Amino acid sequence: NYMVFDINATSVCNLGCLYCSEGKNPNMPDKSRILNSKTKVTIQDLDLLVNQVFEKDPKDDIVFAFWGGEPFLNFDFCKEVMYHFKDNNKISFLFYSNGSYIEKYLEDIKELNRVLGKKPSDGRSRLFIQISYDGRKINDVERLTKNGKSTSDVTLKAFNLLRENGIETKTKSTVTPKTFKYLFDAFKEHVEMKTNYFPTPDAFSDTDYDNEEYLKDLKINLMRIAKYIYDNKLEPETFRWFSKSKALCQAGIGYFSFDLDGEATPCHST
């Protein structure tokens, strides 16, 4: 068993993804939001939390996951947490990152990966970095810099740098109805990258999920993906929507999210 605690390290992000809802507060001036954007969660808070979890069930593992915004914009806090718990091999760490700062902090990341090592329970690295990448055709429409330029090359470079240096990583993708038409292309790109494709339909999108044209695009692309998997004798889970297991939400059971003010909620999307 394991418990996941997401920590919103900062609301600030260097990108301007069209579908993103994180870190936006129209009633707060940008300057104030930036100055007050870092988490108020402290090491002492986390010590208390860890002690409570292990008192309840010493066999549990804990995952601290850093998100934002872009968590590497508050990397000092994240490093402090990881080094503080480095000797407790029942605690692992995850980043949800857009990849922009991987090259800048690569030496720090490599050292953290070395210091943290692997979990005795399953031999997995205690450091894992999830890179947000939707597939180039979708990425170039939705996941942009603040001045509207593509982020694909930087993101792919970050993903490859992590792999080349032995850092556990995978991609996490988002899709909106207007980009359903690119699902097959994004899936095939992920196959070539030797990683599963698991796009999440964006719940905050302004586009119409009942639009007949978009639904037709979805149907056609799902059929193309299914045929490709069958023809190439791939595992159905290569496209995670075809997984045989039934996904069960762990919000509030095996998962809690801590916002900037330290308030805990069952899910960081609510």
Residue 28 pLDDT: 40
Provide the greatest CA pair distance for the chain.
55
* Burial zone of 141 (CB within 10 Å; 0-12 exposed, 13-18 middle, 19+ buried): middle
pLDDT at 266 over 70: yes
Whether the Cβ atoms of residue 131 and residue 98 lie closer than 8 Å to each other: yes
CA distance 4 to 250: 9
3 state DSSP class of 198: coil
Whether the Cβ atoms of residue 45 and residue 63 lie closer than 8 Å to each other: no
Residue 262 pLDDT: 85
Q: How confident is the model at residue 27 (pLDDT cuts 50, 70, 90)?
A: very low
Pick from 95, 8, 81: nearest CA to 47: 81
Summarize pLDDT for 114-143 with one digit per residue, the tens: 999 999 888 899 999 999 999 999 999 999
Summarize pLDDT for 160-192 with one digit per residue, the tens: 999 999 999 999 999 999 999 999 999 999 999
Residue 86 pLDDT: 97
pLDDT at 260 over 70: yes
pLDDT at 253 over 90: no
